């Protein structure tokens, strides 16, 4: 039985969430908090297996509450947002950076035609995220430890002309770390598949655009690739390349259960750029990306994986390593430097 703490300033929303979660025989709602301060107290006293977190609350909002819980009494947190205005969505994405594992929209009421699917998604996400082992986060003012430089990559025949990135659970924060470490003069386009709930994709792109040195936006079908531009797959849509090296979006079947799929992206990039491609697999649950990264490597491209110690969930990088699809495993703090080195002929 997984123990859940529900945090929401609306009594109606708390009751709905508690009812939806409590119907599942594997979940037990052990507490309800109507404020950030109460959430901190209950998180410390109850030590729940997972927490659902509202983001817009008076006083201490869900973003700050998430930060403090992850610094003091870490637990898997699922943001459950109203998701009806840009402020909600932006706060939800920032909460992912602060340590929350997933973001969902609040289910509509039982009379809504989509209620059953929304309730099932909430229950499934809560149960899945409860499996993630989380760690105490340093307060924001605490400097990060200096990482030991990784060994250099083997010499390449051709410099990279495109970077493709795949990520899932923990990906927004990892993406931000990587992009913040890249120069504003980055000379190659960067394509990203991040598994994220529909509705939060545009907020993710906006947040990364505002907090990193590179322009970031959602992909548009047919757009040309531009140096230094970061293009993110829209939720529910495959991101790839056409033979003319333009963005190609598609609604084809999910690949290994995912759309967008990192494997779809890597395979497409391998076909068009071959040895001039660099693939990067970041933190995430499952194995998406492993098969595609292997295709990219077989085409002469280079593949990097985030190391297990710096991952929120090491499933995706681990699967790629197990498939012999990776040239080098790199700590998160060193990935930007490794990526930047890949477009230099002397890397």
Q: Which residues are catalytic?
A: 168, 195, 288
**β-pairing, 102-105 with 302-306?**
unpaired
Provide CB contacts within 8 A for 242, sequence distance 6+. 222, 248, 272
Number of H helices, E strands in the chain: 11, 14
**β-pairing, 247-250 with 238-241?**
antiparallel
> For residue 282, what is the DSSP state?
-
Say how far residue 232 (Cα) sits from the centre of its chain.
11
> For residue 48, what is the DSSP state?
-
DSSP state string for 193-261: EE---TTSHHHHHHHHHHHSSS-EEE--TTPBP-TT-EEEPPTT-EEEE-TTSBEEEE----BTTBSS-
Secondary structure class of 114 (helix, strand, coil): coil
């Amino acid at each position: 039985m997984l123990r859940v703490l529900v945090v929401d300033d609306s009594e109606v929303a708390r009751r709905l969430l508690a009812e939806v979660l409590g119907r599942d025989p594997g979940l037990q709602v052990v507490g309800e908090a109507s404020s950030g301060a109460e959430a901190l107290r209950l998180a410390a006293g109850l030590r729940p297996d997972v927490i659902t977190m509202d983001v817009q609350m008076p006083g201490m909002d869900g973003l700050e509450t998430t930060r403090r819980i992850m610094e003091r009494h870490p637990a898997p947190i699922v943001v459950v947002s109203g998701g009806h205005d840009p402020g909600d969505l932006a706060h939800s994405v920032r909460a992912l950076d602060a340590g929350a594992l997933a973001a969902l929209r609040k289910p509509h009421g039982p009379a809504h035609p989509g209620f059953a699917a929304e309730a099932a998604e909430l229950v499934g996400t809560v149960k899945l995220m409860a499996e993630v082992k989380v760690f105490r986060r340093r307060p924001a003012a605490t400097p990060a430890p200096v990482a030991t430089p990784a060994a250099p990559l083997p010499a390449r025949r051709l410099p990279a002309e495109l970077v493709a990135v795949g990520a899932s659970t923990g990906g927004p924060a990892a993406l931000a770390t990587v992009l913040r470490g890249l120069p504003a003069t980055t000379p190659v386009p960067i394509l990203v598949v991040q598994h994220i709930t529909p509705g939060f994709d545009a907020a993710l792109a906006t947040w990364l655009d505002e907090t990193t040195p590179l322009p970031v936006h959602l992909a548009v079908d047919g757009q040309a690739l531009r140096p230094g531009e970061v293009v993110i797959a829209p939720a529910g849509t495959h991101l790839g390349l056409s033979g003319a090296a333009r963005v190609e979006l598609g609604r084809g079947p999910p690949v290994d259960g995912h759309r967008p799929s990192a494997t779809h992206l890597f395979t497409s990039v391998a076909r068009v750029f071959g040895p001039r491609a660099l693939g990067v697999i970041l933190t995430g649950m499952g194995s998406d990306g492993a098969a595609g990264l292997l295709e990219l490597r077989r085409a002469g491209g280079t593949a990097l994986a985030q190391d297990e110690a710096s991952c929120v969930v090491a499933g995706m990088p681990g699967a790629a390593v197990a498939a012999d699809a990776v040239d080098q495993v790199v700590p998160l703090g060193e990935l930007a430097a490794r990526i930047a080195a890949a477009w230099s002929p002397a890397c």
